[in-house]
Structure formats: structure tokens, C-alpha cells
Structure 1
Amino acid sequence: MDLIAEQRGQMIREKALDLGFDDVAFVEAQFLEREAETYDRWITKGAHAGMDYMARNREKRNDPRLLVEGTKSVVVVLQNYQPDRNTSQGDEFKISKYAYGRDYHKVLKNRLKKLMSFIRTEVADEADGRFFVDSAPVSERSLAARAGLGWRGKNTNLIHPRLGSFVFIGELFLNFELPYGTPIKEACGGCTRCLDACPTGALTSPYELDANKCISYLTIENKGEISEDFSGQFDGWIFGCDICQDVCPWNWKARPHKEPDFNLRPTFGKMTSVDWKALSEASFDELSKGSAIRRAGYAGIMRNIRFVGSVRK
């Protein structure tokens, strides 16, 4: 790697951290052959459940150069969203930590936009590219792992050695070379806490997730009714689920985030089970404004509340 690439990488890294990202690394844009084979097997099994979009654009998902023509490098950024250990969110119903505060798509995209502007004006006149935050067919965890930002844990999440797995991932596709990171060694060892803790058996084996059984899928992406086969297994989760991450020792060591936008909204923290059950559509629209919880929609949230509440009387 030449000196220019090293200098550019250092400038981008410093700016990314200055903008508030918690870590950043670079990976060469190339075909993710090993990951593509694993992904194809996962799709063939039907483990993506009703998320049909996951089966589309597989070629682009596993090769950044096909998604954005001319891409040579991918800047991968991480944003910690691990809340303070004392954070409490009500008396019965629970929502995933990633939805506690402002919609992460907006927070990360705003910072990536600023980073792209900086690169164009201060780093490389010829710079061109696009940025993504969970909004395109991008194999983000694979790219992050290849960049050396962590490893894919047995719960299938990216685990950063310092930040844990409660991290948002963003990518910036660029048309010039950078100093690329190297993958780090997987460090789950013999631990199976995530597999043992999953109440629905969604983690069918290490590094294998069946979305058909995953509480996060069933309460967010799933548009149908929830099977009674899962009755009594949701443990109060009405939007997403953090069980396989909460039990991970790497998250016990991680420090809480410092981003005010990701703090638990006071309105969420004050919601009791009575409040949730009595929620009107208009109230939900106000409650979910600017929040990722809007993804499930009012009908989806009320379905989840009915399902969980029916076994928690």
C-alpha cells in the first residue's frame, strides 16, 4: 500500500472518530466468496423466513463492486449503542435497545454524509462513492469482520473486542485504495450462552440463525399472526429481542455509549403495560415519531402486545 493511501486512511479515520463513530476500518472491495456460499445455504434452507428481500440481489450483496460501480474500498464504521446498565424501560413489555432513542439510520447517515463531504474536499479530489446504513443489499457484518472490526459470534452478530455486539454498522463505498485491515481471530471459544438462552431455539447451531423462530423477526418483520407454538416464550418482548446479546460475556465488558440520541426516550421509559395495551393509533404515531419502532407499525405492535399479554395475565 502506498504512502498516499496510508495518509488518506489516517485522515478518514481521524475524521470519523471526530464525528462520533466509535471505530472505523477499511476493507478492499472484492467478492466475498466464503460468505456468499454460507449466505446461499441460509437462503436455500428458508431460514430468512418472510424476508423475501434478503433473497434478492445476492450478487450485489456479496460484491460491493457490483452494487456501486468503481468501488475499490469500503470504509466501515461502528457506533456503540450499549445503554447504561441502570436503564429501565417499564414494568412488563420490552423493546430492543437499538430502538430506545432516535432512529439510528438518521444518526449514522447524517455522520456518513459529513464524512463523505470531508473526503471530497480534504482527502481526495477524485473521491466518489455512496454510503449505506442497513438500507441496501450490503453484507455489513462480513465487511466489518474482514476489516478487522470484530468477528461473527455464535449468535451471528458482529462482536467487537472492546464495544461488544451492541453496535450499529455503516459503510462508505469509495473509488480509491486505502490501507486495509485484517480479520481478527474469533474469540467465542467454548461459550454457548447465546444458544442456551434463546427461548425459541432460533439459534439452531453455532453461527446459524433461523429467522422463522427469532423473536426479533416475529415482532418486527413478520406481517402475519404469531404462531401459538411460541406462546409463553417471548418474555415480554414486543419489539425485537436482545436475549442472545444480553447473555454474551463480551457485552458485560463493554462500556455504555455516550450518544444522547440513543438514550431511552422518557416516553418509552414511563410506559406501563396498561399504557401499551391502551395505545391508540394516533398515540402510537406520536410515540414512534423518529424512532425505529415505527418499523413494526401500529398493527404489528398491538399484535405483539396481545400475544405477549395473553400469557402474562
Structure 2
Amino acid sequence: MTPALKTSPKENRETVLRLARAAGFDLVGVTSAEPLEKGGERLRRWQEAGMSADLGYMQRPVELLSNPKKLQKSARSVISLGVSYYGGDHPENIGAGHVARYAWGRDYHDSIKERLLRLRGDIEAELGTRVKARAFTDAVPLLERSAAQRAGLGFFGRNACLISREVGSYFFIADLIIDLDIEPDAPGEGTCGRCSRCMDACPTGAIREPGVVDARLCISYLTIENRGDIPPDLRERIGDRAFGCDICQEVCPYNKTKARKTGWSDFLPEAGAGPYLDLREVIAVRTEEEFERRFGGTALTRPGRAGLVRNCCVVAGNLRLGSVLPALEEALRSDDSPVVRGHAAWALGRIDGGRRALTEALEEEPDGGVREEIEAALGRS
């Protein structure tokens, strides 16, 4: 490597912005590595209100999640980056399971990490010196949206998403925590004005107040991070959403005018599972090996096999699809997971022709919780 260039924070900023854009990132901003005080206070209030459900990584100490230097002691700056994952409008597909846009293609963790590491190498080559940098996207204990807001990428909307005036809110956030002095950006500013479309449209009322989402009610949490049962009183409100939810973003005026089609082929539908799931096919998945063959390398592995099958059972019940009855009956009879069997029972109770399988299963079912689901589906509870 050539001798290190003596560059100013302003020159470092110009270098970082140019290289980040060249690497394909749609948004780039810089903030200091000092604690994220405003974000930390928001997190503290949210935790104390009990809205984190069982998200263990969001229940960690505020002092850890809000301080970049807890992740890298030598950190001087945080380079915050955004990349659009918007693949366009959802195509019409009645009778299938709706997948949130961010999961249409390849798993973003892998794709973005590869480019982040290349970007770090490009910065080193340009400056002629080694830099210590930690590269990640949604994978370490840091309030990434708060860092991105302070780095100027956008402002917090009423739905708690970070909204960019350039690309709306359909974008992944990635970071390089780096031991380099870089001139920072001004924090992102903006407002939703009087608009409350996201709050009005949320099927479960998860947006409790502007900028505050209760994970216990959020469809994205219920279908992705939640490993147990989906509360019965929330199942119907999930509708056809088999993985995640875009409703609060779909109704946002910024996305109607600013959403930018992704330039990364990894995030297009053809790179992964696409915008919909075939309910019968997913409900029929019985082994972890088959699950990995079908969904490995995509974000759909996040809830695990049982979680994704559970979700598809709920969607089948909500859509009252007689065509899925055989798959639901087989899941109730033979799936290893009580969570799957319980949700298959719930779905069968909502579809004409499902009572026979429920009655037969009640005699054989060993799990008390599943028996309760069957009895409820039969109207006996």
C-alpha cells in the first residue's frame, strides 16, 4: 500500500460519498461515533412501556444499543448507507400468501455485507492507509435507524420507519463504524404533516402513537420474529400476509411519489421467493432440510420452518381456501410442531369441510395446547 495520504475530514467525506455511490448505495451520510442520545431515550421509553414483546436484542441495555463505541472502541465516525429494495407494486394473486417487499429476493444481510466490505477496501486504497472498520446491516446491537437519521438519511415517520426525501422508506440501512475523522452531515429533518394514513391503515392498531410501534401487535413481528402462537384475536387481522407487512409503507405519500426501483438484482423477485407464497406447497413442508432447500439464502428463513408454515395456515384460514384443506389436514395429523398443528386446526375450523379432520385429530392429539385449539375450532370452548 502506498504511503498514507494526509487528508482532512472534509476530503474524507468527499471520498466516502463518491465511493459509496460508485458501490451502488442510493443513500450515504456520516455522523460521529458519539452516543445516540435521542434514539437512546426513545428506546428507553419504548422498553419501559413493554412494547418490545420478546425481542431480546431490543431489550439490551440502552447504553449498549445507543453507543457505536461499544462496538468499536477506536470509532470516530459512522458511515450510514441506504439501498432501495423496492421491487414495484405487488402483483395481484388472490389465494396466495403475501410476502413483504424486502424479502422478495436474496437475503439482504449477505448481499449488503459483501459490498460493505468492498467499500471499506476501496476507502483504504483511495486513502492509502489501513482503516479499522466494522461493517454490518441489521446484525449488531446498534440503533441503526437513529444513526441513519443523525447522518441525514431521513426522518422518522409516524410509522417509525425512516423516510428519505429521495427514495421514500423502502430501503435497507447499512453501516461502517470507522476509525476515521469524516465531516458529518446535518441530521435528517422532515415531517408527516397532518397525514396519519399509516396509523389509520394498520390492521392491528400497532402504531400506538406517532413514531411508536407496539411489537406485540405488529404483523411483521407476529409473522417473522415471533416463534410461538399468533394470538387468536389477531389472526384474522393478518389477512393474506404470510411474511411481514408493508401496509404502513404502501399508504405513505412519500412512497407513492419517491419510491425508487432497486438497482440491485439481488433484491428483485426473480432472485428469491418473490412476492407470494403458494400456501399448499409451504404447508406441506415437513423437514428442515426441505425448508432450507426451498428458502435458503432468503430472508424467509428468519421465522424458521414452523413459523412460516404457521403463517401460511393462518392465511389459508383467513382466505377460507377449500383447495388447501388436504394440506391443512395432513399438517394437523403429522407435523412435528405443536405450533403448526394448532394453527392448522384454527384454519380448518374456518373452512367448510374441515370439521371431520378436527374431530378425528382430537382423539389422537397429545399436546394440551393443540387440543384446546381443536376444541375452539369445533366451537366447544
Which of residues 264, 267, 277 in structure 2 aligns to 1:262? 267
- 1:188 is aligned to 192
Aligned-partner residue type, residue 191 of structure 2 = A
Q: CA deviation at 1:34?
A: 2.0
Contact 1:89 1:268 in 2 (8 A): no
For the residue of structure 1 that corresponds to 2:216, the secondary structure is helix
Contact 2:165 2:254 in 1 (8 A): yes
Hey, what's the Cα distance between the residues in 1 that align with 2:139 and 2:85? 19
Q: CA deviation at 1:162?
A: 1.4
1:294 to 2:278 alignment? no
Post-superposition CA distance 1:189-244 (Å, at most 9, x none) = 11000000000011011111100000110111111101111131012111111111
Aligned-partner residue type, residue 176 of structure 2 = L
Aligned-partner residue type, residue 201 of structure 2 = A
Aligned-partner residue type, residue 73 of structure 1 = S
- 1:228 is aligned to 232
- Closer/same/farther in 2, CA of residues 65 and 270 from structure 1, 3 Å limit: closer
- Closer/same/farther in 2, CA of residues 16 and 186 from structure 1, 3 Å limit: same
1:212 to 2:210 alignment? no
Which stretches of structure 1, 4 residues or more, deviate above 4 A after TM superposition? 86-90
- 1:277 is aligned to 283
Hey, what's the Cα distance between the residues in 1 that align with 2:275 and 2:204? 26
For CA contacts below 8 A with separation 6 or more, give which structure has more relative contact order.
1
Farther-moved stretch of structure 1 (253-262 vs 87-96)? 87-96
1:312 to 2:312 alignment? no
Work out the number of aligned pairs and report it: 312
Contact 2:30 2:77 in 1 (8 A): yes
Q: CA deviation at 1:89?
A: 6.1
Aligned-partner residue type, residue 285 of structure 2 = L
Runs of at least 5 residues in structure 1 that lack an aligned partner in the other structure = none
For the residue of structure 2 that corresponds to 1:78, the secondary structure is strand
- 2:79 is aligned to 75
- Closer/same/farther in 2, CA of residues 178 and 90 from structure 1, 3 Å limit: farther
Hey, what's the Cα distance between the residues in 2 that align with 1:270 and 1:233? 18
Hey, what's the Cα distance between the residues in 2 that align with 1:151 and 1:89? 33
For the residue of structure 2 that corresponds to 1:231, the secondary structure is helix
1:113 to 2:117 alignment? yes
Contact 2:98 2:277 in 1 (8 A): no
- Closer/same/farther in 2, CA of residues 35 and 267 from structure 1, 3 Å limit: closer
Hey, what's the Cα distance between the residues in 2 that align with 1:56 and 1:305? 31
Post-superposition CA distance 1:112-161 (Å, at most 9, x none) = 00011112222251421211111101111111111111001110011010
- Closer/same/farther in 2, CA of residues 279 and 89 from structure 1, 3 Å limit: farther
Post-superposition CA distance 1:245-303 (Å, at most 9, x none) = 11111111122112111011375457433333333434432221210110111100111
Contact 2:223 2:311 in 1 (8 A): yes
Contact 2:35 2:67 in 1 (8 A): yes
Aligned-partner residue type, residue 308 of structure 1 = V
Which of residues 21, 26, 29 in structure 2 aligns to 1:22? 26
- Closer/same/farther in 2, CA of residues 122 and 46 from structure 1, 3 Å limit: same
For the residue of structure 2 that corresponds to 1:131, the secondary structure is strand
Hey, what's the Cα distance between the residues in 1 that align with 2:125 and 2:275? 42
Hey, what's the Cα distance between the residues in 2 that align with 1:231 and 1:206? 24
Contact 2:105 2:274 in 1 (8 A): no
Where do residues 113-132 of structure 1 align in structure 2 (5 Å cutoff)? 113-123=117-127, 125-132=129-136
Q: What TM-score comes out, normalization by structure 1 length?
A: 0.94
Hey, what's the Cα distance between the residues in 2 that align with 1:77 and 1:183? 14
Q: What TM-score comes out, normalization by structure 2 length?
A: 0.78
Which of residues 28, 33, 36 in structure 2 aligns to 1:32? 36
Hey, what's the Cα distance between the residues in 2 that align with 1:106 and 1:132? 10
Hey, what's the Cα distance between the residues in 2 that align with 1:264 and 1:126? 38
- Closer/same/farther in 2, CA of residues 236 and 309 from structure 1, 3 Å limit: same
Which of residues 159, 162, 169 in structure 2 aligns to 1:165? 169
Hey, what's the Cα distance between the residues in 2 that align with 1:5 and 1:79? 24
Aligned-partner residue type, residue 268 of structure 2 = N
Which of residues 178, 181, 190 in structure 1 aligns to 2:182? 178
For the residue of structure 1 that corresponds to 2:123, the secondary structure is helix
Aligned-partner residue type, residue 104 of structure 2 = Y
**Could you say what the CA RMSD is over the residues aligned between the two structures, in angstroms?**
1.8
Hey, what's the Cα distance between the residues in 1 that align with 2:202 and 2:169? 16
Farther-moved stretch of structure 1 (147-156 vs 55-64)? 55-64
Q: CA deviation at 1:57?
A: 4.1
Hey, what's the Cα distance between the residues in 2 that align with 1:199 and 1:51? 21
Runs of at least 5 residues in structure 2 that lack an aligned partner in the other structure = 1-5, 321-381
Q: CA deviation at 1:167?
A: 0.4
